[in-house]
Amino acid sequence: MTSSPMILAIPSKGRLKEQVEAWLADAGFRLEAEGGERGYRALLRGLPGTEVRLLSAGDIAAALSAGEIHVGVTGEDLLREQGDDLDARVMLLRALGFGRADLVVAAPQGWIDVDGMADVDEVAQHYLARTGRRMRVATKYGVQTRAFFARHGVADYRIVESNGATEGAPAAGAAELVVDITTTGATLSANSLKILSDGVILKSQAQLAAALSATWTRDQLGQLRRLVSVAEARAHARELAALHWPAEADAAAAGVLGPFLARGASKLADGVLSATSDLFDLTAALAQAGVGPVSVSRPDYVFETACEAIDRLSLRLGL
């Protein structure tokens, strides 16, 4: 075990916590809470030398940005809200495929002539000329809203910080537009709002991210390499199948493997490791060549010699 543990933060509650726990468990790591279910620390069985902290998703993003933890899992939307220079402070290591949501600009459905951001710019100018006030945009995502509106040349607006249900702001008379996170758009629609045709700011999902400003040791980086390598090996294995045939059929099999090896399959002793998408084409080609019987199994893990994400992080950290 390392003398100074790697600090990993994961969400403390909700659906995202459940998804992170399931992701870790699927890779072979078991999370065990310390101090009961309401504790804020946990152990990660299978990865000794790691201290797990249970924080809110927003606090994880802030802690990564400040370098207070080494690595964490949180939504990319929350990470991007930490500032335009996020990439100088945090490295996104792996998109995890869950916690998906879109950060979008939404306008009242009654604005029938407003379809995109160019229309918003025109409405904002008219609103300012008519009322002497800037159009209000309710959001919890001020950093990304300002950057997105600037890219589209929209200037005549002001941010209204939203502390409650953002989608209800226009109906309550607190704002004209909203920028909010959505998974299906149903809540926006229920509040008589529509997503602009070019109004998707970010297609977010949960990210495994590392803090560049944290103090790292080689041992801590090694812990993270182990975590990421195992997770990637598990994900890679889901895409592959191992085919085996009798040793005496190996020469005949070699005659049909060329196209599949060119697409990334790997030769095994008396067999091949192939993408599952090629499975039926490959077995048909082997049968036509008289190779059989062919057995198929699914690997639990497929490890590569290198871990690209951690190699990039190591380079950034100078370790």
Is the preceding omega at residue 170 within 30 degrees of 0, hence cis?
no
Q: Which helix (H) or strand (E) holds 211?
A: strand 206-211
In this predicted structure, the answer to whether residue 34 has a pLDDT above a threshold of 80 is no
Q: Please report the pLDDT score of residue 246 as a whole number.
A: 95
Q: Which two tokens stand for residue 199?
A: 């109004």
Q: Please report the pLDDT score of residue 175 as a whole number.
A: 96
Q: What is the CATH number of domain 239-297?
A: 3.30.70
User: Which position has the token pair 């949501």?
Assistant: 101
Q: Please report the pLDDT score of residue 164 as a whole number.
A: 80
Render pLDDT for 117-167 as a digit per residue (tens, 0 to 9).
999 999 999 999 999 999 999 999 999 999 999 999 999 999 999 878 899
Identify the weakest region by mean pLDDT among 35-44, 71-80, 241-250: 35-44
User: Which position has the token pair 């910080």?
Assistant: 161
Render pLDDT for 233-247 as a digit per residue (tens, 0 to 9).
999 999 999 999 999
In this predicted structure, the answer to whether residue 69 has a pLDDT above a threshold of 70 is yes
SS3 157: strand
Q: How far apart are CA 152 and CA 269, in angstroms?
A: 57
Number of Cβ within a 10 Å radius of residue 145: 24
Averaged pLDDT for residues 38-50: 85
Strand 177-182: give its sheet, edge to edge: 157-161, 135-139, 177-182, 101-108, 193-204
Q: How far apart are CA 77 and CA 301, in angstroms?
A: 30
User: What residues does each domain of the chain span?
Assistant: 6-100+205-235, 101-203, 239-297
pLDDT band for position 1 (cuts 50, 70, 90): very low
Render pLDDT for 74-133 as a digit per residue (tens, 0 to 9).
999 999 999 888 999 999 999 999 999 999 999 999 999 999 999 999 999 999 999 999
85-124 as b/e: b if 16+ CB within 10 A: ebeebbbebbebeebebbbbbbbbeebeebeebebbbebb
In this predicted structure, the answer to whether residue 2 has a pLDDT above a threshold of 80 is no
Render pLDDT for 53-64 as a digit per residue (tens, 0 to 9).
999 999 999 999
Q: Which two tokens stand for residue 9?
A: 């933060």
Query: Among the residues of the chain, which ranges form H helices?
Result: 14-27, 57-66, 76-80, 117-131, 142-151, 186-190, 218-238, 250-262, 279-288, 308-317
Q: Please report the pLDDT score of residue 36 as a whole number.
A: 56
Averaged pLDDT for residues 26-44: 80
Which of the following CATH numbers is that of domain 6-100+205-235: 3.90.930.60, 3.40.190.10, 3.40.50.150, 3.30.1330.10?
3.40.190.10
Q: How far apart are CA 158 and CA 146, in angstroms?
A: 9
Q: Do domains 6-100+205-235 and 101-203 have the same CATH topology?
A: yes
The CATH architecture annotation of domain 101-203 reads 3-Layer(aba) Sandwich (3.40)
CA distances from 134 to 137, 144, 161 (A): 9, 19, 15
Identify the weakest region by mean pLDDT among 24-38, 198-212, 295-309: 24-38
- Mean pLDDT across the chain: 94
Amino acid at 316: R
- CA contacts within 13 A on the Cβ side of 231: 25
Q: What is the DSSP letter of 84?
A: T
In this predicted structure, the answer to whether residue 191 has a pLDDT above a threshold of 90 is yes
In this predicted structure, the answer to whether residue 270 has a pLDDT above a threshold of 90 is no
Total residue count of the chain as it appears in this document: 319
Averaged pLDDT for residues 255-283: 94
